[in-house]
Structure 1
Amino acid sequence: MFRFLIALAVIAACQNTATAQKGKPLYTFPFGVQAYTFRKSFPNGVAATLDTIKGMGITEIEGSGGNMPPAEFKKLCDERGISIPGTGTSYESLVKDPQAAADMAKALGSKYLMVAWIPHEKAKFNLDNAKKAVADFNAAGKVLKENGITFCYHVHGYEFQPYEKGTLLDYMIQQSNPEYVSFEMDVLWTHFGGGDPVALLKKYKDRWKLLHVKDLRKGTPKDLSGGTSQENDVALGTGEIDIPNIIREAKKIGIKHYFIEDESSRVIKQVPQSIAYLKSLKQ
């Protein structure tokens, strides 16, 4: 029944984009997904969840199968033609033992390792938080590079606190060592925090290595908390984020890995819709 529902979702998504204008496709990369999208499915069966992901036409995944040993998860992915270009870890784990983080990434066959949240007081991310993160990322990033892994900090929206003539995100990008620290843009959280994804891609170019492709429900109130209802994640092309121009600029600066992330309860319906939307985009 689960696969039948997926098939229906794929068919419906394709029908909805059947009238797309003719021209060369804009999106020319493998379809990837952030493992968190299927966080409710993995505990019920990693292999079955990967079968679902494969059935959607996805060939790249960022992350792992929860508590499963990395090598075992990689084997299951390999058997289904799914590669793992990147994975993630917590800030605390990275700082405590960057070598262990590197070993985990290598066991998955990943070239990138990201951290998606910097610990800070709930009220406000501040300059001291940013300074500590820069120092920690520079140190851990050096260890990762020595192991052939590129470290990326995943922007989460709270970094857009004003600082001097820019924001704390500007501070973090400018003060971190580009040899050891790169960035992953989550386009929803960047937009949610008041950033302009296209302008930031243009400004910092190759500091960006990965992209989380997401869309935000139209009219959602935005702030600097780095958090909103997961149900505000909507299928690509149905929200308020300028996905086509983000993809255009990301291609220009050389980003090659794009991970759909959908935190809503509607992933079986919305992920196929998002893939169909990306397929429908024209240059």
Structure 2
Amino acid sequence: MTNQVIARVLVGLGLVCLGSPLMAQKKAPLPNVPGMVSYTYRQSFQRNVAATLDTIRAMGITDMEFSNLFGKTAAELRQLLDERGMRCSSFGVSYPDALTKTDEVGANAKALGAQYVRVAWIPHEAPFNLAAAQKAVADFNQIGKRLKEQYDLTFCYHNHGYEFHPAPEGTLFDYIVQKTDPRYVSFELDILWTVFPGHDPVALLRKYGSRFALMHLKDLRKGVAGNLSGGTPTENDVALGTGQAQLPGIIKAAQQAGVRHFYIEDESPNIATQVPQSLAYWRQVTR
């Protein structure tokens, strides 16, 4: 029996509506070229925004996640992107700005053309604890609700490694995911900051699926021992495929989970050689 015949039968039984898909749609194909986090080129952006965008565009990268306006207005930065056929899909801001300047953040994100607003660090005194996680949950729900209802933006939290202290839910990261409202709060999975504290990105992607909207493609130098500090020297960022992360499985799980944007982030001083290596590796494992 063909899908069309099955669909007509189900419609007749009232089990599906006309125009709805008979089966779940396949996940979108992975991009030929991933996006880029502006922090990778932070020193170059501080010197010359336009020239840095030219460098990134020359590698075929058109999707950006900005964490800084680099002295430009959002409108000025948007114009530079438009002139190069590039876009900003995600706008990273500090936790305090997201909480106390939500309208300014929302307006800037819309001016940039972003769909997502991302926070990557929860201010806290080490070790990260339940009280800090509880406050973050309340704040994230508030921020996410306002950004969604007033600006049609999706708020995302980016893990940074310190959230994996044990908790009844599993870890404090589990607590944050489970206690935030999925209507208003999504997540950006950073591969390095999942591997460094000793956790499995594939397991998290399978566990929380579509809660992960974004991903930082980032590899950790082999032999580096991790911890729950949320910090490691930038030299421990290495080209994709040369470190500890089991990237083919992670990328496959991310696609199955429905991750929408993948961004290379390399904090090391070796981006001139490592970014091209990472791009070549992405093409190799996704073709």
What TM-score comes out, normalization by structure 2 length? Answer: 0.87
Aligned partner of 2:281 in structure 1 is: 277
Q: Secondary structure at the match of 2:269?
A: coil
Matched, 1:39 2:39: no
Distance in 2 of aligned mates of 1:264 and 1:65: 21
Aligned partner of 1:96 in structure 2 is: 100
Aligned partner of 1:15 in structure 2 is: none
Distance in 1 of aligned mates of 2:93 and 2:122: 11
Contact between 1:216 and 1:240, CA under 8 Å: does it hold in 2?
yes
1:203 deviation in Å? 0.2
Aligned partner of 2:157 in structure 1 is: 153
List alignment gaps of at least 5 residues for structure 1.
1-25
Q: Secondary structure at the match of 2:91?
A: strand
Matched, 1:230 2:234: yes
Q: Secondary structure at the match of 2:43?
A: coil
> Which of 51, 60, 64 does residue 61 from structure 1 map onto?
64
One-letter code aligned to 1:44? R
Matched, 1:81 2:85: yes
Contact between 1:112 and 1:149, CA under 8 Å: does it hold in 2?
yes
> Which of 225, 235, 248 does residue 221 from structure 1 map onto?
225
Distance in 1 of aligned mates of 2:248 and 2:190: 15
Contact between 2:159 and 2:189, CA under 8 Å: does it hold in 1?
yes
Distance in 2 of aligned mates of 1:39 and 1:160: 28
Q: 1:209-243: CA deviations, max 9, x gaps?
A: 00000000001110000000000000000001011
Higher relative contact order (CA 8 A, sep 6+): 1
Matched, 1:126 2:116: no
Distance in 2 of aligned mates of 1:59 and 1:78: 10
Distance in 1 of aligned mates of 2:255 and 2:205: 10
> Which of 131, 139, 144 does residue 141 from structure 1 map onto?
144
Distance in 2 of aligned mates of 1:262 and 1:28: 19
Distance in 2 of aligned mates of 1:179 and 1:256: 16
Aligned partner of 1:17 in structure 2 is: none
One-letter code aligned to 2:145? K
1:29 deviation in Å? 4.5
1:99 deviation in Å? 1.4
1:98 deviation in Å? 1.2
Contact between 1:154 and 1:183, CA under 8 Å: does it hold in 2?
yes
Bigger mean CA deviation after superposition, 36-45 or 63-72: 63-72
Matched, 1:178 2:193: no
The share of aligned pairs that are identical, in percent, is 53
Contact between 2:218 and 2:264, CA under 8 Å: does it hold in 1?
yes
Distance in 2 of aligned mates of 1:187 and 1:246: 8
* Residue 165 to residue 132, structure 1, CA distance change in 2 (3 Å): closer
Distance in 2 of aligned mates of 1:226 and 1:81: 35
Max Rg structure? 2
Distance in 1 of aligned mates of 2:285 and 2:154: 30
1:132 deviation in Å? 0.2
Contact between 1:30 and 1:257, CA under 8 Å: does it hold in 2?
no
* Residue 250 to residue 207, structure 1, CA distance change in 2 (3 Å): same
1:271 deviation in Å? 0.6
1:27 deviation in Å? 4.5
Contact between 2:156 and 2:187, CA under 8 Å: does it hold in 1?
yes
1:54 deviation in Å? 0.6
Distance in 2 of aligned mates of 1:52 and 1:282: 23
> Which of 115, 122, 141 does residue 111 from structure 1 map onto?
115
* Residue 45 to residue 282, structure 1, CA distance change in 2 (3 Å): closer
What TM-score comes out, normalization by structure 1 length? Answer: 0.88
One-letter code aligned to 1:102? G
Matched, 1:190 2:194: yes
One-letter code aligned to 1:160? F
1:164 deviation in Å? 1.5
1:50 deviation in Å? 0.4
One-letter code aligned to 1:246? I
1:101 deviation in Å? 1.1
Aligned partner of 1:267 in structure 2 is: 271
